[in-house]
Amino acid sequence: GFVAKPETLPDGTVNLMVWKCVIPGKEGTDWEGGYFPLTVHFSENYPDHPPICKFPAGFFHVNVYDPGAVCLSILGDAWNPSITVPQILVCIQDLLDNPNPISRAQRFIYHLYAKNMPEYKKRVRQQAKRYPSLV
């Protein structure tokens, strides 16, 4: 269910600096059934610096900023040039159902996660329905 491929530009050329990815929600979680689009932006300094990974703006998750950037240690201080794109995608998939409340990116979502888990889970399931499989 994972997808990771370089962006194809309108003229048919391939942009290796931007990858279009899809992360499936894990079975047995509230994320199940969702296929979440993620864009991975590589800089000229890659692999010495981590890529920037972004979900669509407004993505509902404790560790995703409102503009969509993912807050994850391996994409920051814990970056290692040996980390591969598949490893990044699997780590982000794991983060979906196992958010890090210490590294919260959105206060409101964190508040729901910490104080109203039934509502948090309901919103996660609603989001999963907004991103169904394209196949």
Assigned token pair, 14? 């391939």
User: Domains along the chain?
Assistant: 3-130 (3.10.110.10)
Decide if pLDDT at 133 tops 90. Answer: no
Q: Quote the pLDDT of residue 135.
A: 67
Active-site residue (options: 21, 53, 71, 91): 71
> pLDDT digits over 95-132, tens only?
999 999 999 999 999 999 999 999 999 999 999 999 99
Q: What is the pTM of this model?
A: 0.95
Q: Catalytic site residue 21?
A: no
Task: Give the largest CA-CA distance in the chain.
Answer: 49
